[in-house]
Chains A and B, each alone.
Chain A
Amino acid sequence: MAMRCPAVAELSAHVDGELGAAEARAIDVHLAACPVCRGREESLRAASQLVSDLPTLSCRESVATRVLDRLEVESRGPGLALLFRSFSAARPLFLPSLIPAALVLLAVLATVLLLNEDAGPLPPASVRVLGEVWDPRVPDHGTESNPLFPSAEVSLPRTREGGSVPERVLAEMNEGTFFLETVVARDGSVSMVTLLGGDSERARPVVDALRRERFEPVRLHGRPVAVSVYRLISRLDVWAPLT
């Protein structure tokens, strides 16, 4: 054997062909004679070659696109960058936030639809009064269609001379209790009497008498106004107990 067994560093340099000619020749001579070093040199060479033979890994998406997107965001600020990005370029930023947003939107829509089904159809919107289409316009305050109620400013209407309910009517009134609304028109006449509570047959004479009542016109700030008056008229006959 011409020389001592070479160190790993020398064998490695020999694999790379980086030794000087004389040094390389000396190692070649040694390897020819030393099967241990020859085997070691061959396995070093084979191991190195295995690394060289590794397939090249490639990224499935363009690194350039990702880098330029990032620089774009940094240079413009995220808000403006989102506006100017193309759809495909925007995917890495948009998609992760869009998925939960879309799920929330779907859940809200489904809930709204379910609630809507439970509610059922709404009734027709038009309202008819006495066969006429209701006029949604509110009449002026203080008119017969929209009378005022007695208050600090609107006095209770006073009956005119001979305009009150005759005593006879009250004397002949059937037993019972009647709750009545009288609308006193701007000229003091009665424009409407409504029986709000009580037997309508029994109340008829009283209602007729009330329609014939006459009042002094009521004024508000010098203007005659219609006033609504509510009255409770009651008759209770008390009999002596039977013995």
Chain B
Amino acid sequence: MTTGEMSFGSLEALRGAVSEGPLVERCRQGDAQAFARLVALHEGMVFNLAARLTGDPEEARDIAQEVFLQVYRTLGRFEGRSSLKTWIYRIVVNRCHNRQRWWRRRRRSCSHPLEELTVREEARLAAGQAGASPYEQVRQGETARLVQAALLSLSFPHRAILLLRQVEGLSCEAIAAALSLPEGTVKSRLARAREALRRSLLERVGEDGWP
């Protein structure tokens, strides 16, 4: 596959509506333009999910790159029984899980530096919201920081299922397909994840500060 003739200046234009089947087929045939379009279509979702799973935007950027490289290399094995997006969810979750285990083996504390990074990111996002008063921006940024910190206190499987359900809006059946788990397992883990999140948030804000 050669990519030298591609122009990267019009990636925004690539995010237009496209049909998945022909796009995947063109990617399989080594069409660089088609692969650029595929990446542009899914990179937002991949980055956001990775950033929420790891709590670290810098880490998420690297993971997003690895995810699409894996997609490119294994697209020939994609059978099309699930949607391409479902398949990409699976790769993102596996990559993030591997990274977390890698860091744990090296005894790196996952929560503190990641939370600090997230604080800056949440504040930047809150400041960017049009129409919100400064007070509202601060409140939204603080809430997002608390929720992200509570998410990071959950086990990785719980965090992944909760994010796929609440942020990506996947049904339990779709989550089960993406993670190759029985649907019943997904439902029970989702319930435990919600309960753990509720407890974690209560610990952080107390009964009085509950939104």
Q: Residues of A with Cβ closer than 8 Å to B?
A: 7-9, 11-13, 15-16, 18, 40, 43-44, 46-59, 61-68, 70-72, 75-76, 84, 86, 88-89
**Which residues of B have CB within 8 Å of A9?**
187-188, 191
**Which residues of B have CB within 8 Å of A50?**
143, 147, 201, 211
Interface members, chain B 174-207 (any A CB < 8 Å):
187-188, 190-192, 194-195, 197-198, 201-202
- New contact pairs (8) apart from A51-B151, A75-B3, CB-CB < 8 Å: A15-B194, A46-B210, A52-B167, A57-B47, A59-B57, A63-B64, A68-B36, A72-B4
Listed A/B pairs (20) with beta-carbon separation below 8 Å: A15-B194, A16-B172, A49-B166, A51-B166, A53-B143, A55-B144, A57-B52, A57-B60, A57-B125, A58-B47, A59-B43, A59-B60, A59-B61, A61-B61, A62-B8, A67-B39, A67-B65, A68-B32, A72-B4, A75-B3
Docked-complex contact B191 and A67, CB < 8 angstroms: no
Q: Report B24-68 CB contacts with A as 1/0, cut-off 8 Å.
A: 000000001001100110011011100110000100110011001
What is the distance, in angstroms, from A113's C-beta to the closest C-beta of chain B? 40
Say yes or no: is B130 at the interface (Cβ < 8 Å to chain A).
no
Rounded to whole angstroms, the CA-CA distance of A72 and B1 in the bound complex is: 8
What is the distance, in angstroms, from A68's C-beta to the closest C-beta of chain B? 5
Least CB separation from A15: chain B residue: B194
Rounded to whole angstroms, the CA-CA distance of A131 and B60 in the bound complex is: 82
Q: How many A-B residue pairs have CB under 8 A?
A: 141
Q: Report B78-119 CB contacts with A as 1/0, cut-off 8 Å.
A: 000000000000000000000000000000000000000000
Docked-complex contact A64 and B36, CB < 8 angstroms: yes
Say yes or no: is B6 at the interface (Cβ < 8 Å to chain A).
yes
Least CB separation from B12: chain A residue: A62
Q: Residues of B with Cβ closer than 8 Å to A?
A: 1-4, 6, 8, 11, 14, 32, 35-36, 39-40, 43-44, 46-48, 51-52, 57, 60-61, 64-65, 68-69, 72, 121-122, 125-126, 129, 140, 143-144, 147-148, 151, 162-163, 165-167, 172, 187-188, 190-192, 194-195, 197-198, 201-202, 210-211
Rounded to whole angstroms, the CA-CA distance of A75 and B188 in the bound complex is: 45
Docked-complex contact A8 and B195, CB < 8 angstroms: yes
What is the distance, in angstroms, from B103's C-beta to the closest C-beta of chain A? 19
Rounded to whole angstroms, the CA-CA distance of A63 and B71 in the bound complex is: 13
**Which residues of A have CB within 8 Å of B65?**
63, 66-67, 70
Q: Which of B68, B147, B172 contacts A63 (CB 8 A)?
A: B68
Docked-complex contact B198 and A43, CB < 8 angstroms: yes
Least CB separation from B3: chain A residue: A72
Docked-complex contact A70 and B43, CB < 8 angstroms: no
Docked-complex contact B147 and A51, CB < 8 angstroms: yes
List of 5 A-B pairs having minimum Cβ-Cβ separation, nearest first: A12-B191, A64-B39, A51-B166, A63-B43, A9-B191
**Which residues of A have CB within 8 Å of B8?**
62, 64-65, 68, 86, 88-89
Docked-complex contact A54 and B144, CB < 8 angstroms: yes
Least CB separation from B57: chain A residue: A57
**Which residues of A have CB within 8 Å of B144?**
54-55
Rounded to whole angstroms, the CA-CA distance of A74 and B162 in the bound complex is: 36
A55 and B122 in contact (CB under 8 A), knowing A8-B194, A48-B166, A66-B65?
Answer: yes
What is the distance, in angstroms, from A137's C-beta to the closest C-beta of chain B? 59
Rounded to whole angstroms, the CA-CA distance of A59 and B194 in the bound complex is: 28
**Which residues of A have CB within 8 Å of B36?**
64, 68
